[in-house]
Amino acid sequence: MADPMKIRANAVGDATEVKVLMNHEMETGQRKDAQGKTVPAWFIQNVTAAWNGKTVLSAQWGPAISKNPFLSFKFKGGAKGDKVQVTWVDNKGETRTDEATIA
């Protein structure tokens, strides 16, 4: 399983700003290894973020996203102490979910 995501969530006025650093190799499927064989594609396909069980972000990604992607977004609402949960699913079916408390 992948390493935990680093998530920071801060209440800013009537909105919440979330910053996420994900740990994932993000292979495009076009690179070749030392023996000249193509490295299979392996990338995050879906990312969702939820606040108190309500989806506040839903994204579909492809192989053009960089290794260890960084995601930053804002949503209206959120209060100090609330939880923000971020989940990703890759093209091999692996998934990772982590959460942070809004500061």
Tens of pLDDT, residue by residue over 75-100, are 999 999 999 999 999 999 999 999 99
Tens of pLDDT, residue by residue over 16-49, are 999 999 999 999 999 999 999 999 999 999 999 9
Residue 2, CA distances (Å) to 7, 46, 88, 90, 101 in order:
15, 15, 11, 11, 21
Strands 44-51 and 15-21 turn out to be unpaired
In the chain, the domains with their CATH numbers are: 6-101 (2.60.40.10)
